[in-house]
Amino acid sequence: MPKLARDLLFPLIAVVAAFIVGGILILLVGDNPIVAYRLLLGSALSWPDGIGYTLFHATPLIFTGLAVLVGFRCGLFNIGAEGQLYIAAFATAWVGITFASRSAWILVPLCFLGAILAGALWGAIPGVLKAYFGSHEVINTIMLNFIAVALVSYFTQYHYRVPGDPILQSAFVGEGAHIARLGKFIPGFPERIPLNLAFLLALLCCLLVYLFLWRTKWGYEIRATGSNPTAAEYGGISVRKQIVLAMAVSGALAGMVGINEVMGYRYRYYDGFSDNYGFTGIAVALLGRNHPVGVILAALLFAVLQHGGIYVDGFSEHITKDIVQVLQGIIILFVAAEAFFKWSLGRFGFRRLKA
């Protein structure tokens, strides 16, 4: 089997199997799965609203999927994308509010920098803790998620909220911090759809992450560390530095969710905006086989489910958008089962399939 076909096979099986199992569940609650799926996919892929919103939902998932991917490639499990993106989104808004009067030429790069640096910093903390004190990144990233969420809520509530506003959100950022919605460039695509330039930035990041990991010496060192840290050390690579670097890059990518949210969508920091983007990113990276192209495909799939789910909720009798959660859960289960499946293949002597 050619490598590409093999790489696509298991995720495809996982998705198809999830839809079959999901279909059975829909039958059991007394709805017609074909109707439900047609509703789900049809509404998610309609022009322009369906496609527009689906791509908009895919944008943060691409960023967080890439973030988790970079961690994985260094042998790290970054569960902290959620916290990183909250800190970064808040930082973006802070920059946009603090320097609100500046022109777009200054403010856009400044806000970008704010998002990237804040995410990188929040990601680097568990990296440093792991590299120099040996404490596990899974625990620390989970803990830092709680801290991040509480921290930005606090600052929003007590320092950056417009007096009298009943909603927990910050003041608006300066006009200069707005980035264009794609409706501006595409005829027949209304500007009310929040799909914005950050989507193109996400695609660009996929290319950059690919080049970084597979074409630069730094990427080589990160992947070598992830593949076999003792051999990396033998090759003169500082494993500690790679761990910190990978976590910082991972955090920076997660942080770019803030660009989509603050600069392209709400133009302010809105507390609790993330629909578990950081955690869904883990599933996106897994389903995408830790490859940037796979991340795009997986993010699109999850976005279709998320957006289509809203319509399923509204227009079908028995099922709610929870069916989307069910589908996502089953996909993840099947992707995880792949490891077991391959392992059992290996045990029965078909080692070639593993290579």
Positions touching another protein (CB under 8 A) are 211, 215-218, 220-221, 223-224, 227-228, 230-237, 349-352, 355
Could you tell me if 90 and 152 are in contact, meaning their C-beta atoms sit under 8 angstroms apart? yes
Q: Closest distance between another protein and the C-beta of residue 348, in Å?
A: 9
CA atoms within 13 A on the CB side of 347: 6
How far apart are the C-alpha atoms of 96 and 267, rounded to whole Å? Answer: 9
How far apart are the C-alpha atoms of 221 and 231, rounded to whole Å? Answer: 11
Q: Closest distance between another protein and the C-beta of residue 235, in Å?
A: 4
Q: Closest distance between another protein and the C-beta of residue 212, in Å?
A: 10
Torsion of CA 346, 71, 272, 280, to 10 degrees: -20
Residue with tokens 């801290």: 147
Nearer to another protein, 161 or 223 (CB): 223
Nearer to another protein, 223 or 291 (CB): 223
Nearer to another protein, 192 or 352 (CB): 352
Nearer to another protein, 195 or 248 (CB): 248
How far apart are the C-alpha atoms of 68 and 77, rounded to whole Å? Answer: 7
Q: Closest distance between another protein and the C-beta of residue 293, in Å?
A: 19
Q: Closest distance between another protein and the C-beta of residue 137, in Å?
A: 21
Could you tell me if 31 and 316 are in contact, meaning their C-beta atoms sit under 8 angstroms apart? yes
Distances (CA, A) of 32 to 23, 35, 39, 99, 161: 8, 5, 11, 54, 47
Amino acid at 44: A
Among the listed residues 126, 95, 155, the one whose alpha carbon sits nearest the alpha carbon of residue 254: 126
Q: Closest distance between another protein and the C-beta of residue 127, in Å?
A: 20
Alpha carbon of residue 91 to chain centroid: 18
Which H helix or E strand runs over 65?
helix 49-73
CA atoms within 13 A on the CB side of 72: 21
Q: Closest distance between another protein and the C-beta of residue 231, in Å?
A: 5
Q: Closest distance between another protein and the C-beta of residue 119, in Å?
A: 22
How far apart are the C-alpha atoms of 147 and 141, rounded to whole Å? Answer: 10
Nearer to another protein, 30 or 349 (CB): 349
